[in-house]
Structure 1
């Protein structure tokens, strides 16, 4: 089933607010592709992209992405409005394909190379994606074979593109597409293409997937503004060097690092992993100035690495902790031991970004994620009935603004509960608003959603539970977070087994889940078998009690060891 290009089934921005954003200059009428082209002309000879294998100027990156965009339209059956699944790592080809797709009007679905057959298949069917681009030499995974399997099993996927390796029969080669895009006719066709700034530019995943994926539809004008206002918050300029060590196709990678850097004429350094030794060496060698989204897990490893105190980190002007709440102790140690100017940030695929101002009082920088990055952002803190709570009171963060979505893609039932009648997105995050010096600051104090925050990855418990209960020996399953000093949280699976079933282990559970196509990063790292689950007073599984149980077990094990 192919979807019409305009059928994203998410509510458009209300006319009154859209007109206001245009009138106030928040939305400029540009597409993201045109803004990137303009920045490349202005900063042509400056370094734009640094990877393990490549170093490209803004002119070189722009030319490659123009060629790929033209080649896509010339050599494949894809047309503007079609969707493309991504399974590429942090390599230069990923950026070329991503920007090229955007310039060609092809809409990236920001999947990851770690996603399994199940996730890619569900998301392809949900978004109507026709194209699937894979990296042939991605570590420890045969993504080309996966692409061929999916092409045979998923009706909508009819275009396989292979980068960094040979393409099988019937698939398209990245290199061949680039070559075709250098032709005059292909470039003229691309130049004549008209893309609506109010139209879709990217489909981002919302932290993880469940049986019905939640997909955030991002539009050119708001995604461009999101990138620009975040870049302004970070103080990016043509001399900035931005380092991003997490998967670049995350929202944190594209709108948190890549696009802000390139729109500002800055350099973006992307790495294949977040190992502390190589990261420290890169910071010193490339004179990195800004690390825009650093999970506390990565920061802890850097802090504890043997080279941390001997590495020159003096170029860093912004070190933003995000992804999960850091401890006050971690912030203090980063600042005192490594002399890193630390800030906290909070962002989401749905839009809203918050950040502690660089000049904020110490208590604010230690204990809050700061304030919204745009003066046009609107925030409410709600009780369960949807009423506003007083300042200083815990409630649910709700937001709307010029870069927060108005609804999830093809999810009307979920949208009915996830958004208020006046368009505020109910995030599921629990916050407290603190008013200091006449300015609002927000402290993240937990979440309502049943999500495990494992380092930089958010795992929806429901997705894994749905698979576990199909195991022939499992009667019921509950996934909960267990505390971890490095990643913040790891995954523990509580199982109730059928009568006479074989004992289950981490290994046997992993083997079953992998056979169901689940991504490796979602696998439970501990299994607890119980006779029955504790229940709440309304008969639901009491995950609060399970979390307390595993925390107590871990603490006792720590004492005994």
Structure 2
């Protein structure tokens, strides 16, 4: 399956941004040159999570294991172009499945373990999978039974029962697999994954991506994080989307690095793995980094001398956190902004030395006259447009929709007619509102989603800006704002808060006073407060503002 046109393939190949490497080909290179080096390591509590003992595989063993899984898929009748819906946590079997599917030309479509029957039916209706691969037990939840109940006639294969049984070193018919690969040679422009949008603004949509698209986004990530040969990478986010696939899976074989797995997020275990595995680079949720910055004793409990940098993102970061982690702990912070569709922006100590800038601003990649260097800037085009008229916005401080193109960007959603997805000249319309910012104005500031903006009597308010300020309240563990209807103004603002352990939730009056003290404009002040046990989040940790708004509207 290919989605890129011959013209697009020719352009990016001629410019050197696309090539001929495939995911399984990169693994084979590592198996030849780094056979005995650790390739993937399971989290030590894997058996408690899913009843399968943890594994530590070197590149030679991972190459063999992926070949064995590929052979099993062929035995089950999987053919090139078939789609497999895979619902697994971060375990070595999932890593091996990516390589196995790549080897036989099948397409892997990973989904979060949190998703239930409704979401499975949504995905399957669009994907039309040949089979589902999952677990009978993940933390006491029978994922296989759920899939059987949801999908009826679609085969459901259980890890350890239907496929991937026994010893990963067991022999298989290598000659048969080699013959299959000779008969069906892989192309770097073949689709290798179909991931899914997070669904914060509607039904999740399938995002087909080729080997070349993933390698392009991986190279951007590696450039931002200054990845080095033979590193040790700790991947705590699920291997289902851009952050983990583009940030860890592909880079691990592009740089010959060891991939250490973690999932779901368990801060004490995460910190222990950082120390015990000698991790050199990882990504961490902003909340965990904030906790480490606020509690030096927690940091001092471990030996993190091998670590050189943290990646983070998904929400604006705290400048104070960056100053503490970099100034006191000596670890660089890289702010990533990306998506399954191929958005690939980043703010680093080089491009944004000041903490205030790096916390919330991203270089305007691909815009003429910018001071940036490197492949990401050379290969990317970004533009801001008025979401209603399509007019390009070049003035600072005016919100518009971010549009982007480049070798990391996808070709279109699975089963979608493409209407409204791209500009007339081919830039992806991200749906994210940004404004040109900085002195000089060489940066973008993310101000929200096109559908997130709160319209209070004609005044447009970005909820993410208020979220960032509220995160600094000492009595709150979590906070987010959303709109609620008002007959006079159209919409007003509700602050949804989760008190910190042992703290009492602020009153609306005290919260407003606290916001005013921090320079928040009066028209942005919440006019309602709701105290919750937790904020609704999607499987990658983003607040689902639509669910929040529905909750408080029903109340």
TM score, norm. by length of structure 2: 0.76
1:387 is the counterpart of 2:387: no
Pick which of 201-210 and 398-407 moved more. Answer: 201-210
Distance 1:96 1:417, change over 3 A: same
> How far apart are the structure 1 equivalents of 2:313 and 2:67?
33
State which of 410, 416, 430 in structure 1 corresponds to 2:415.
410
Report deviation, 1:218: 0.6
Equivalent residue for 1:183?
173
**1:296 aligned residue (264, 279, 286):** 286
Superposed displacement of residue 419, structure 1: 1.3
Q: How has the CA–CA distance of structure 1 residues 408 and 481 changed in structure 2, closer, same or farther, with 3 Å as cutoff? A: farther
Distance 1:256 1:352 in 2: 13
Structure 1 residue 281: Cα displacement: 1.7
Residue 331 of structure 1: CA displacement? Answer: 1.8
Distance 2:16 2:267 in 1: 41
Instruction: From 23, 27, 32, give the equivalent of 2:23.
Output: 32
SS at match of 1:81: coil
Aligned to 1:205: 196
2:358 maps to 1:365: yes
1:109 lines up with 2:109 in the alignment: yes
Q: Distance in 2 between matches of 1:178 and 1:239?
A: 24
> Deviations along 1:246-284, whole A, 9 cap, x unmatched?
212232111111211222101111112322222222112
Cα distance between partner residues in 2 of 1:328 and 1:559: 24
Distance 1:46 1:178 in 2: 17
**Structure-to-structure mapping, 1:460-539, within 5 angstroms:** 533-534=485-486
Q: SS at the partner of 2:379?
A: coil
Deviations 1:66-124, CA, capped at 9 Å, x for gaps: 22112211x21221111111111111111112221122211111211111011011101
**Partners of 2:22 and 2:102 within 8 A in 1:** no
Equivalent position to 1:23, from 2, 6, 14: 14
Match of 1:501? none
1:248 corresponds in structure 2 to 239
The farther-off stretch of 375-384 and 137-146 is: 137-146
User: 1: distance between equivalents of 2:107 and 2:262?
Assistant: 24
Contact between 2:102 and 2:192, CA under 8 Å: does it hold in 1? yes
Larger mean Cα displacement after TM superposition, 253-262 or 201-210: 201-210
Instruction: Quote the offset at 1:22 in angstroms.
Output: 0.8
Shift of the 19–206 alpha-carbon distance from structure 1 to 2, 3 Å rule, reads same
Whether the aligned pair in 1 keeps the contact of 2:88 and 2:110 (CA below 8 Å) is no
Deviation of 1:399 (Å): 0.3
In the alignment, the residues of structure 2 paired with residue 536 and residue 203 of structure 1 have an alpha-carbon distance, to the nearest angstrom, of 45
Given that residues 316 and 360 in structure 2 are in contact (C-alpha distance below 8 angstroms), is that contact kept between their aligned partners in structure 1?
Answer: no
The two structures have a TM-score, normalised by structure 1, of 0.75
- The aligned residue for residue 162 of structure 1 is 158
2:507 paired with 1:556: yes
Q: Give distance in 2, aligned partners of 1:448 and 1:488.
A: 23
For residues 150 and 496 of structure 2, the distance between their equivalents in structure 1, rounded to whole angstroms, comes to 41
218, 221, 228: which one pairs with 1:230?
221
1:283-316 CA distances to partner (integer Å, 9 max, x unpaired)? 121121111x322123223444552223222222
Deviation at 1:132, TM superposition (A): 0.6
Q: Check 1:18–1:323 CA distance in 2 against 1; reply closer, same or farther (3 A cut).
A: same
Change (3 A) 1:21 1:83: same
Instruction: Report if the CA contact (8 A) 2:234-2:259 is conserved.
Output: yes
After superposition, give the CA deviation of every residue in 1:311-351 in whole Å (9 maximum; x if it has no partner): 22222222122111112222223223433211211111100
Query: What CA deviation, in whole Å up to 9, does each residue of 1:413-457 have, x standing for no partner?
Result: xx32121111111112122334767x94322222224499xxxxx
Which of 211, 216, 220 is the matching residue for 2:211? 220
Q: Secondary structure at the match of 1:545?
A: strand
**Structure 2 CA distance for partners of 1:367 and 1:355, relative to 1, 3 Å:** same
Deviating above 4 A after TM superposition, structure 1's stretches of 4 or more consecutive aligned residues are 176-181, 209-212, 434-437, 480-494, 548-551, 557-561
Contact kept? 2:83, 2:128, Cα under 8 Å:
yes
Alignment partner, residue 524 of structure 1: none
Deviation at 1:196, TM superposition (A): 2.9
Hey, what does 1:423 align to over in structure 2?
426
Is residue 2:186 matched to residue 1:195? yes
CA distance in 1, matches of 2:274, 2:488: 49
Aligned residue in 2 for 1:464: none
8 Å CA contact 2:232, 2:280 repeated in 1: yes
Supply the distance in 2 between the matched residues of 1:366 and 1:188 (Cα, whole angstroms).
49
Over 3 Å counting, the alpha-carbon distance change for 1:212 and 1:368 in structure 2 is closer
Would you say how many aligned residue pairs link Structure 1 and Structure 2? Answer: 467
For residue 231 of structure 1, give the secondary structure of its aligned residue in structure 2.
helix
**Contiguous gaps of at least 5 residues in structure 2:** 44-53, 366-375, 455-466, 499-503, 512-530, 532-555
Look up the match of 2:278. Answer: 287
C-alpha displacement of 1:237: 2.3
Please, what is the CA RMSD of the aligned residues? 3.3
CA distance in 1, matches of 2:496, 2:187: 53
- Tell me what 2:444 maps to: 442
Distance across 1 between alignment mates of 2:405 and 2:444: 15
